Amino acid sequence: STDHTKNKIRKIIKKYNLNGILLNNKKNLGYGGVQKLAFEYAIKKNFSFVVMMHGDNQYPSDRISKLLINFSNDKYNAVFGTRMHSILSAYKGGMPIYKILGNKILTAFQNLILNSSMSEFHSGFRSYRVDSLKKIKFKNFSNKFHFDTEIIICMLNKGFKIKEVPMPTFYGDEISHLKSIPYGINIIKTTLKHKFQNK
């Protein structure tokens, strides 16, 4: 990151005396690569759960507990916050129409191919049981944005249970580095490829 995020995080940890650990990468590992690093760290430290949330302020960080409380039911391997429980809610949250349509179309395609019933495959607010991540060869997955889709497909292939929890979304003037058309193409290719591979 070139916006001094590292220094800002260190100041927050110090100011509020948080029990936080900052993992700083010497080079950009990519969207998926960063998650691999975090997941490996969580496994190494024997954490129970890990939460992934996009850093663009679109998801409410004060709702993390709303995800984690669902793990009190042992049947869930992952719990996701979903924007697409209501198209109207996503629109009111400032989600652009083209993103809503793209999300719904891609998700419908993936549900059809994978025989699933997800409300969306593209949530940026997710939590996982670390014991479940241990059973996934996520190191073999992409370092790009479609890493998330590979995780879901693998979980579905293994019969893992994913719960979706409705979440409000707030779109502001944050810059997204995700390019919609290349992302969509990668999602389609990944879905077709992994449909027949039980990772």
- Alpha-carbon gap, residue 145 to 182, rounded angstroms: 10
User: What does each C-alpha distance from 103 to 82, 95, 164 come to in angstroms?
Assistant: 11, 11, 15
pTM (predicted TM-score) = 0.89
**What does the pLDDT look like over 98-129, one tens digit per residue?**
889 999 999 999 999 999 999 999 999 999 99
**What does the pLDDT look like over 50-106, one tens digit per residue?**
999 998 888 899 999 999 999 998 899 999 999 888 788 788 778 888 889 999 999
The backbone torsions φ and ψ at residue 178, rounded to the nearest 5 degrees and listed phi first, read: -85, 125
**What does the pLDDT look like over 7-57, one tens digit per residue?**
988 999 999 999 888 888 888 899 999 999 999 999 999 999 999 999 888
- Alpha-carbon gap, residue 36 to 3, rounded angstroms: 22
